[in-house]
């Protein structure tokens, strides 16, 4: 049977505000258990939540970046359920009136661009964490995460393959990080995804029954979990079995999904407007102010790099995959005025060394100034491209500016014609057999002479000059 896959994703992004959504406790990750928890976090009787305005503004930024409509009035609602990491017995979320709806983002699907709809974005509070100790029959609760602000971004079921799902997540992640409203750390749970997936015979209009997958902590795991789940569903359908609507947990070590619980329905949560919080009213002036504070977004930057710097789309994609890297690159270009050469050095040597050391561009020992100075030195002919490779390695290891390393190592290129001509004459005299072969038409042997000159000059000869002088000398 030919099946079509249907996927919709729910993403929870922790916002990087300093304080929590309804109290003044710190949102800093970690810390001694329960050291960032107050009576509001603990859900003590009589406490009242006070909304953090920054949370609303961060959610507005995400809404604008994903082409959503911002609701001028939105309402917090109580989502009721019992769990030991939720002392109040309900989570404050949004339900009937979320902050934003009806948006979309662009993803690359094969060679095409595809729009993925955003159903809604809502604000809510995170829950605490349970810690289970294998050597001890007790469990512990840490409420530091309780009340950390989240936005949930729900997609339309527009995604048609696990690869598209991973691509959508990467784009969404990138937008959050560019906006500087989420640190995007998937291992610490700052960016989490639940994946809903179903299959249907190709051509059928109605969706099949979906399962919801949880517990994936990387883009790759989301894709793997979905690939497994699609196969599992197909196998069942082909064998005449039905799909049960349920939540399943991804087991990374085994590479399988296992049932966790049967799916709860919205009515099970007894949502109702939170009487402790007034509706959030957002007027046009507020939206305009947030709009004016929006930074450039990755898609725009990618297209601008191609148009403005004339670099290939591939380069623009790599360079904008990290905002800090894009800013680094732009600084190098601004100073040296050589976009493609700058891109080659940044994507090549600089990223290679950083990747080897698992460092981010923020920790790069080579400053944009140093890299652009080095590019200028190649341009001027002070050093050859080959010497530059060595120089960049030293710059990376020592953090020193190129000029300093050049003078320390005496790395100056030989551009003195007289000196080079002497060396070349000596080499020609010492290798009569090779000279005869070259003159008899064996062009390939030219490389032998270049090698000899480079060896004699310790690699410091200007390659172009060596070429010219050798050709002249060998022509006899």
State the residues that interact with ligand ADP by CB under 6 A. Answer: 6-10, 154-157, 196-198, 207-208, 210, 212
Q: Which stretch binds Zn ion (CB under 5 A): 22-30, 321-329, 375-383, 408-416?
A: 22-30
Instruction: Name the strand (E) or helix (H) holding 178.
Output: helix 162-179
**Pairing status of strand 3-14 against strand 191-201:** antiparallel
Q: How far is the CB of 141 from Zn ion (least distance, A)?
A: 15
Residue whose CB is less far from ligand ADP, 59 or 470: 59
Residue whose CB is less far from ligand ADP, 155 or 413: 155
Q: How far is the CB of 20 from ligand ADP (least distance, A)?
A: 23
Residue whose CB is less far from ligand ADP, 68 or 342: 68
Residue whose CB is less far from ligand ADP, 122 or 323: 122
- Mask of contacts with Mg ion, 104-123, x by CB under 5 A? --------------------
Residue whose CB is less far from ligand ADP, 212 or 330: 212
Residues 6 or more apart whose CB falls under 8 angstroms from that of 418 comprise: none
- Among Mg ion, Zn ion, ligand ADP, none, partner that 25 touches (CB below 5 to 8 angstroms by kind): Zn ion
Q: How far is the CB of 79 from Mg ion (least distance, A)?
A: 12
Q: How far is the CB of 212 from ligand ADP (least distance, A)?
A: 6
- Among Zn ion, Mg ion, ligand ADP, none, partner that 246 touches (CB below 5 to 8 angstroms by kind): none
Residue 261, SS3? strand
DSSP 8-state assignment for residue 256: E
Residue whose CB is less far from Zn ion, 1 or 48: 48
DSSP-assigned states of every residue in 220-253: HHHHHHHHHHHHHHHHHHHTTPPPP-EEEEEETT
Q: What are phi and psi of 132, to 5 degrees?
A: -105, 130
Residue whose CB is less far from Zn ion, 38 or 351: 38
Distance from C-alpha of 170 to C-alpha of 168, rounded to nearest angstrom: 5
Closest CA to 385 of 399, 396, 374: 374
Q: How far is the CB of 154 from ligand ADP (least distance, A)?
A: 5
Task: Please list, residue by residue across 28-63, b when 16 or more beta carbons sit within 10 angstroms of its beta carbon and e when fewer do.
Answer: eeeeeeeebbeebbeeeeebebebbebbbbbbbbbb
DSSP 8-state assignment for residue 266: G
Asked if 225 touches Zn ion (CB under 5 A), the answer is no
Q: Which of residues 9-48 bind Mg ion (CB under 5 A)?
A: 10
Distance from C-alpha of 330 to C-alpha of 325, rounded to nearest angstrom: 9
Q: How far is the CB of 116 from Mg ion (least distance, A)?
A: 17
Q: How many residues bind Mg ion (CB under 5 A)?
A: 1
First to last CA, the chain: 75
Distance from C-alpha of 387 to C-alpha of 395, rounded to nearest angstrom: 12
Residue whose CB is less far from Mg ion, 269 or 448: 269
- Among ligand ADP, Zn ion, Mg ion, none, partner that 7 touches (CB below 5 to 8 angstroms by kind): ligand ADP
- Mask of contacts with Zn ion, 120-159, x by CB under 5 A? ----------------------------------------
- Among Mg ion, ligand ADP, Zn ion, none, partner that 38 touches (CB below 5 to 8 angstroms by kind): Zn ion
Among 11, 13, 15, 25, binds Zn ion (CB under 5 A): 25
Distance from C-alpha of 289 to C-alpha of 56, rounded to nearest angstrom: 13
Closest CA to 224 of 154, 166, 184: 166
Residue 147, SS3? coil
Q: What are phi and psi of 251, to 5 degrees?
A: -105, 105
Residue 191, SS3? strand
Q: How far is the CB of 119 from ligand ADP (least distance, A)?
A: 6
Q: How far is the CB of 154 from Mg ion (least distance, A)?
A: 8
Residues near Mg ion (CB under 5 A) are 10
Residues near Zn ion (CB under 5 A) are 23, 25, 38, 40-41
């Amino acid at each position: 049977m030919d099946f079509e896959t249907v996927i919709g994703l729910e993403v929870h992004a922790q916002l990087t505000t300093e304080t929590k959504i309804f109290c003044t406790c710190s949102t800093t990750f970690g810390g001694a258990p329960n050291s960032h928890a107050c009576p509001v976090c603990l859900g003590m009787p009589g406490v009242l939540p006070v909304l953090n305005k920054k949370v609303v503004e961060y959610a507005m930024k995400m809404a604008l970046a994903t082409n959503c409509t911002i609701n001028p009035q939105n309402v917090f609602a109580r989502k009721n359920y019992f769990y030991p990491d939720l002392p109040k017995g309900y989570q404050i979320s949004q339900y009937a009136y979320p902050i934003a709806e009806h948006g979309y983002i662009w993803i690359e699907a094969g060679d095409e661009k595809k729009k993925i709809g955003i159903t809604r974005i809502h604000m809510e509070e995170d829950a605490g964490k349970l810690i289970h100790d294998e050597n001890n029959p007790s469990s512990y609760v840490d409420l530091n995460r309780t009340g950390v602000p989240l936005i949930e971004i729900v997609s339309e079921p527009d995604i048609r393959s696990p690869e598209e799902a991973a691509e959508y997540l990467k784009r969404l992640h990138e937008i959050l990080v560019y906006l500087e409203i989420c640190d995007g750390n998937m291992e610490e749970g700052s960016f989490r995804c639940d994946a809903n997936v179903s299959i249907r015979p190709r051509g059928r209009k109605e969706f099949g029954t979906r399962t919801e997958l949880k517990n994936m902590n990387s883009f790759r795991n989301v894709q793997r979990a979905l690939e497994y789940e699609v196969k599992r569903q197909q196998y069942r359908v082909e064998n005449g079995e039905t799909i049960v609507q349920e939540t399943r947990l991804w087991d990374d070590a085994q590479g399988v999904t296992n049932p966790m619980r049967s799916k709860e329905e919205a009515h099970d949560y007894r949502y109702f407007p939170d009487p402790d919080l007034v509706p959030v009213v957002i007027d046009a002036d507020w939206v305009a102010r947030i709009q004016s504070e929006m930074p450039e977004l990755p898609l725009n930057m990618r297209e601008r790099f191609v148009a403005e710097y004339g670099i290939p789309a591939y380069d623009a994609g790599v360079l904008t995959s990290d905002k800090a890297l894009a800013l680094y690159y732009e600084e190098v270009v601004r100073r040296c005025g050589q976009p493609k050469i700058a891109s080659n050095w940044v994507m090549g040597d600089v990223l290679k060394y950083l990747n080897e050391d698992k460092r981010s561009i923020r920790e790069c020992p080579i400053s944009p100034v140093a890299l652009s100075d080095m590019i200028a030195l190649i341009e001027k002919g002070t050093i050859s491209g080959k010497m530059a490779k060595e120089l960049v390695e030293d710059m990376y290891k020592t953090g020193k500016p190129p000029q300093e390393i050049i003078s320390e190592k005496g790395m100056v290129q030989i551009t003195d014609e007289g000196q080079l001509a002497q060396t070349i004459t000596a080499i020609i005299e010492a290798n009569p057999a090779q000279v005869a072969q070259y003159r008899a038409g064996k062009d390939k042997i030219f490389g032998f002479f270049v090698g000899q000159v480079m060896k004699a000059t310790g690699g410091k000869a200007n390659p172009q000059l060596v070429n010219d002088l050798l050709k002249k000398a060998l022509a006899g």
